[in-house]
């Protein structure tokens, strides 16, 4: 094991910080383009590298004494981190961005908003995961099929042929509606839209302005953010009261969580915990699925043969209809297309942990509090695992069976995505309906740059023209600009 001269500083190799602004420059280069910058770091230093040699950086950890940031990639290092839960903890980002200092009655919702499983560790995480699991069991998620079909059809009905749309925005709206229906039980309509907007605004506030101007004064973003949080708190507590009063399982996830009792301890979730899990599940579910769908439609638009084969499969099984649960099992190529899309452009390119105790990784000592960022993206682009990794080739899934550490789109270990089966079902249904109905074509010279940190998304959205499904797949291929070309081989 290699130790640094100072046993609290980080000995993992990495670029030496320049004088004065050194670490800030490294941090800027990472936040500006994490994929490109870490590609350079991994090539120079190997599969375990620090953001700044000696540490002193903090990208994610809410702990004030974070010794530094380490990036890793590759299945073996990912296995070690994701399977040792007592060594590698996970924290929610809420604490990092808004701080947990001076919590008043007004800022108290920060204790649980967006936290859920993401901010729990050890026994509490295990117990709550047990409580949540039944809501994600096969039978339960299958009961959402009809709602997903109805919402998809209603959103697609509003699209006009020959018009341009930002498909990323439309898919976000669609997956958000699916989330509010399956999670809270709200039907499409005014209330659902209001809750969607509230949750979205609470989850995507202007973090920088809030951090720079943390004053609760009318007109400031900080004040607006806490007003919205209070409104969300109020709405959800009312909804929980209403569901408790009825005492019925309405079929949505929240109803189930309200009634859940841990078989081992008899414990149930408190109201704060219910709010935390609900907001965290909402946050985890809609953005990830909508990005995966957006990238898949983009990749299909640039790979006419894949698009044609996929449509053949869909039409042969579905004859233009929405898939039933049984038919979803008869669409292997659809599954391969989604998997390959999430391999090449993973919706979550980084997975994060913080060491809960001093440990050793890849031959280096890591002090307690070190933050670890696992690169799902670089692991998915290892040519040893995926020959010609930049080629979008769904057929490769007919012969490969990567381990969960090699294919890490949904994470691995005890924290593997609890909503993975739900997400796969949702994405398959949406794509099957959409692709039989419409052909989406990128507008000429579309610029597609990446935007990544928590999720990997197209920075300027994805403007596409909607055509009736006419099988003219070769139209609109090529001419794509932007750094997406560094990630995927395009003509
Ligand atoms: C394409 C869609 C999705 C992707 C790529 C994705 C990815 C992930 C990943 C990588 C993790 C693991 C994080 C870690 O190891 O710390 C995770 C965890 C989680 N996901 Fe997903 N997810 C998706 C959809 C969903 C959906 C639809 C839901 C809920 C309806 C959901 C709920 C969760 C929750 C609650 C966790 C935390 C699990 C835990 O800490 O025990 N996800 N997801």
Tokens encoding 344? 């090449």
Long-range contacts of the stretch 8-11 (C-beta < 8 A, 24+): 8/67, 8/367, 9/54, 9/55, 9/56, 9/67, 9/68, 9/367, 10/50, 10/53, 10/54, 10/55, 10/67, 10/68, 10/70, 10/366, 10/367, 10/370, 11/364, 11/365
Phi, psi of 463 (to 5 degrees): -85, 120
In a domain, 345, yes or no: yes
Residue nearest to atom 41 of ligand 1 (CA): 415
Rounded Cα distance between 470 and 351, Å, is: 40
| C-alpha span between 225 and 157 (Å, rounded) | 34
If you take atom 35 of ligand 1, which residue's CA is the nearest one? Answer: 281
pLDDT in tens, the chain (491 residues): 443 433 457 999 999 988 777 889 999 999 999 999 999 999 999 999 999 999 999 998 877 789 999 999 999 999 999 999 999 999 887 655 555 555 677 888 888 888 899 999 999 999 999 999 999 999 999 999 999 999 999 999 999 999 999 999 999 999 999 999 999 988 756 677 777 777 777 777 776 677 777 788 888 888 888 888 888 889 889 999 999 888 778 889 999 999 999 888 888 999 999 999 999 999 898 899 999 999 999 999 999 999 999 999 999 999 999 999 999 999 999 999 999 999 999 999 999 999 999 999 999 999 999 999 999 999 999 999 999 999 999 999 999 999 999 999 999 999 999 999 999 999 999 999 999 999 999 999 999 999 987 899 999 999 999 999 999 999 999 999 999 999 999 98
The CATH number assigned to the domain holding 83 equals 1.10.630.10
**Does residue 94 lie within any of the structural domains?**
yes
Confirm whether 178 is domain-assigned: yes
DSSP-assigned beta bridge partners for residue 54: 10
The answer to whether residue 11 sits within a structural domain is no
- The rounded Å distance from CA 278 to ligand 1 centre is 13
Token reading at 295: 């990238």
Instruction: Give dist(CA 53, CA 9) in Å, integer.
Output: 9
Edge-first strand order for the sheet with 463-468 is 164-166, 463-468, 438-442
Token pair 């599940």 is found at 281
Give the whole-angstrom CA distance, residue 382 versus residue 389.
7
Q: What is the pLDDT of residue 7?
A: 45
Q: Which atom of ligand 1 is nearest to 90's Cα? A: 16
CA distance 193 to 177: 8
Q: How many domains does the chain have?
A: 1
Q: List, chain by chain if needed, residues with CB within 6 Å of any ligand 1 atom.
A: 90, 116-118, 129, 280-281, 284-285, 288-289, 292, 347-348, 351, 409-411, 415, 417-419, 422-423
Q: By alpha-carbon position, which residue is closest to atom 36 of ligand 1? A: 417
Q: Cα angle vertex 136, ends 201, 196, to 5°?
A: 15
Query: Looking at the domain assignment, is residue 38 inside a domain?
Result: yes
pTM greater than 0.85 (yes/no): yes
Nearest CA to ligand 1 atom 39: 415
Q: Which atom of ligand 1 is least distant from the CA of 422?
A: 27
Q: Which H helix or E strand runs over 32?
A: helix 22-32
- Buried b / exposed e along 26-57 (16+ C-beta atoms within 10 A): bbebbeebbbebbbebbeebebbbbbbbbbbb
Atom of ligand 1 nearest to the CA of 416: 12
User: Which of ligand 1's atoms lies nearest the C-alpha of 286?
Assistant: 27
Residue 16 maps to a domain: no
Range(s) of the domain holding residue 348: 22-486
Q: Which residues of 441-459 are buried (b: 16+ CB within 10 A; e: fewer)?
A: bbeeebebebebeebbbbe
Residue 456 lies in a domain: yes
pLDDT of residue 2: 43
Q: Is 283 within a domain? A: yes
Q: What angle, 0 to 180 degrees and rounded to 10, lies between the N-to-C axes of helices 271-302 and 304-318?
A: 120
Q: Report CA(165)–ligand 1 centroid distance (Å).
A: 28
Q: Which residue has a Cα nearest atom 32 of ligand 1?
A: 419
- What's the pLDDT score for residue 9? 77
Count of Cβ atoms closer than 10 Å to residue 358 Cβ: 15
Q: 13 exposed, middle or buried (CB, 10 Å; 0-12, 13-18, 19+)?
A: middle
Strand partners, 352: 373
Q: What share of the chain is helix, strand, coil (3-state, %, to 5)?
A: 50, 10, 40
Element (H, E) at 29: helix 22-32
């Amino acid at each position: 094991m290699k130790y640094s001269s100072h046993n609290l500083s980080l000995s993992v190799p990495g670029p030496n910080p320049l004088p004065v602004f050194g670490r800030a420059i490294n941090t800027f280069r990472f936040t500006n383009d994490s994929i490109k910058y870490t590609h350079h770091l991994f090539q120079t230093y190997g599969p375990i590298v620090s953001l700044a040699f000696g540490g002193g950086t903090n990208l994610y950890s809410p702990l004030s004494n974070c010794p530094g940031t380490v990036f890793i990639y590759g299945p073996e290092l990912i296995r070690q981190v994701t399977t040792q839960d007592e060594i590698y903890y996970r924290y929610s980002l809420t604490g990092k961005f808004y701080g947990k200092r001076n919590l008043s009655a007004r800022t108290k919702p920060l204790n649980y908003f967006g936290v859920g499983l993401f901010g729990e560790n050890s026994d509490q995480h295990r117990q709550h995961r047990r409580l949540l699991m039944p809501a994600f069991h096969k039978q339960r998620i299958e009961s959402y099929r009809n709602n997903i079909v109805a919402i998809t059809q209603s959103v697609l009905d509003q699209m006009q042929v020959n018009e341009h749309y930002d498909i990323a925005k439309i898919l976000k709206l669609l997956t958000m509606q699916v989330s509010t229906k399956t999670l809270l039980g709200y039907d499409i309509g005014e209330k659902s839209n209001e809750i969607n907007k509230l949750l979205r605004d609470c989850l995507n506030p202007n973090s920088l302005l809030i951090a720079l101007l943390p004053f609760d004064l009318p007109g400031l973003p900080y004040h607006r953010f806490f007003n919205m949080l209070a409104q969300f708190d109020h709405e959800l507590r009312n909804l929980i009261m209403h569901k408790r009063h009825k005492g019925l399982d309405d079929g949505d996830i929240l109803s189930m969580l309200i009634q859940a009792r841990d078989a081992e301890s008899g414990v149930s979730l408190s109201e704060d915990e219910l709010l935390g899990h609900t907001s965290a599940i909402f946050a985890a579910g809609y953005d990830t699925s909508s990005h995966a769908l957006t990238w898949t439609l983009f990749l299909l638009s640039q790979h006419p043969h894949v698009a044609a084969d996929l449509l053949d499969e869909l039409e042969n099984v579905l004859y233009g209809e929405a898939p039933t649960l049984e038919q979803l099992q008869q669409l292997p190529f659809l599954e391969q297309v989604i998997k390959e899309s999430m391999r090449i452009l993973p919706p979550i390119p980084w997975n994060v942990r913080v060491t809960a105790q001093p440990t050793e990784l890849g031959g280096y000592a890591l002090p307690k509090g070190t933050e670890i960022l696992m690169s799902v993206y670089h692991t998915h682009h290892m040519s040893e695992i995926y020959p010609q990794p930049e080629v979008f080739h769904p057929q490769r899934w007919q012969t490969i069976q990567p381990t969960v550490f090699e294919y890490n789109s949904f994470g691995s270990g005890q924290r593997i995505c609890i909503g993975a089966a739900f997400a796969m079902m949702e994405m398959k249904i949406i794509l099957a309906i959409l692709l039989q109905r419409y052909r989406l074509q990128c507008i000429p010279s579309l610029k597609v740059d990446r935007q990544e940190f928590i999720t990997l998304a197209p920075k300027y959205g994805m403007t596409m023209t909607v055509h009736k499904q006419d099988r003219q797949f070769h139209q609109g291929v090529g001419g794509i600009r932007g750094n997406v070309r560094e990630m995927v081989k395009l003509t």
